[in-house]
């Protein structure tokens, strides 16, 4: 079991882009050009929300027509942005599947050299009156990790945050940073759920968590980065915002030395 192994110190400058996705994929690709000018120098990982290729649209409306393959125009534009800024970019999209009416809800991580990793959302949002599984296919139950800037990054999407076993498995496999692009639907107590769960996943796993969402009025915004003791390293409220935070592997190492709860598990 690889829960923690101290090594060389690495730092990673994150840019969490809290931005509304249009219903027009071309508009969202164009917005990436404007985003490029808002990024600070030395940004190592740019994180865009879930469904940034194209928003979900009205509840229950079909999505299949807006799905793209992993070598389609959306991923190509993300690669251009990554190459322009010499960075790595993570964003949510609808990916074509074997069922044309039920694509995958996928995260893609790219740099200037191409696609580094993809993660198909495991837990579909069949809750609070929604049935995401009517319009989307679930991914295989296989956690996805990738190294970015010397940190091991585990990928999660939105509703996955409510399932602590996925975060724990990513950490068991070596994750130092969990990244959670989201479109966290607004509603009673939903901001409180969001903030509490992000910090809980950080505390119980002594891991960094970077969670970015689309803003209101449909979604909750409140993107944040939590440290491995649950401390808030950076946070915004609502609206179109870019949150920049630098995270360090040594903070994870220190937290796991002070609180070796991962090593103390008995179940």
Residues annotated catalytic, as ranges: 50, 121, 158
Please state, in angstroms and rounded to a whole number, the distance separating the CA atoms of residues 64 and 87: 30
CA 162/CA 167 separation, integer angstroms: 9
Instruction: Identify which of 66, 64, 187 has the alpha carbon closest to the alpha carbon of residue 129.
Output: 187
Laid out side by side, the sheet with 224-226 consists of 145-148, 151-155, 177-182, 208-213, 224-226, 232-235
The burial of 1, by beta-carbon neighbours within 10 Å (0-12 exposed, 13-18 middle, 19 or more buried), is given as exposed
Residue 46 has phi, psi (to 5 degrees) of -100, 125
Query: For residue 177, what are the β-bridge partners?
Result: 153, 208
Smallest Cα–Cα separation from 32: which of 102, 86, 72, 91?
A: 91
CB atoms inside a 10 Å sphere around CB 214: 30
Closest CA to 181 of 264, 251, 136, 119: 119
Give dist(CA 63, CA 71) in Å, integer: 18
Peptide bond into 145 cis (omega under 30): no
């Amino acid at each position: 079991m690889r829960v923690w192994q101290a090594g060389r110190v690495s730092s990673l400058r994150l840019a969490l882009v809290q931005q509304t996705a249009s219903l027009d994929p071309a508009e969202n690709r164009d917005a990436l050009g404007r985003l490029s000018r808002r990024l600070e120098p030395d940004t190592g990982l740019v994180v865009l929300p879930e469904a940034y290729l194209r928003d979900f649209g009205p509840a229950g409306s079909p999505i299949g027509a807006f799905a793209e393959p992993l070598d389609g125009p959306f991923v190509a534009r993300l690669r251009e942005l990554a190459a322009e800024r010499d960075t790595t970019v993570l964003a949510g999209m609808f990916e074509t599947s074997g069922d044309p009416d039920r694509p995958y809800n996928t995260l893609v991580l790219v740099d200037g050299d191409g696609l580094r990793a993809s993660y198909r959302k495991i837990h579909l949002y069949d809750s609070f009156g929604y049935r995401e599984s009517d319009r989307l296919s679930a991914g295989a139950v296989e956690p996805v990790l990738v190294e970015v800037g010397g940190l091991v990054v585990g990928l999660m999407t939105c509703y996955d945050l409510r399932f602590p076993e996925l975060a724990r498995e990513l950490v068991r496999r070596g994750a130092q940073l969990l990244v959670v692009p989201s479109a966290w639907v607004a509603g009673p107590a939903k901001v409180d759920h969001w903030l509490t769960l992000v910090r809980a996943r950080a505390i119980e796993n002594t891991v960094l968590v970077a969670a970015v969402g689309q803003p209101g009025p449909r979604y909750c915004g409140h993107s944040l980065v939590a440290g491995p003791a649950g401390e808030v390293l950076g946070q915004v409220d609502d609206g179109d915002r870019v949150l920049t935070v630098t995270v360090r592997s040594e903070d994870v190492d220190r937290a796991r030395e002070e609180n070796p709860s991962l090593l103390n598990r008995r179940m």
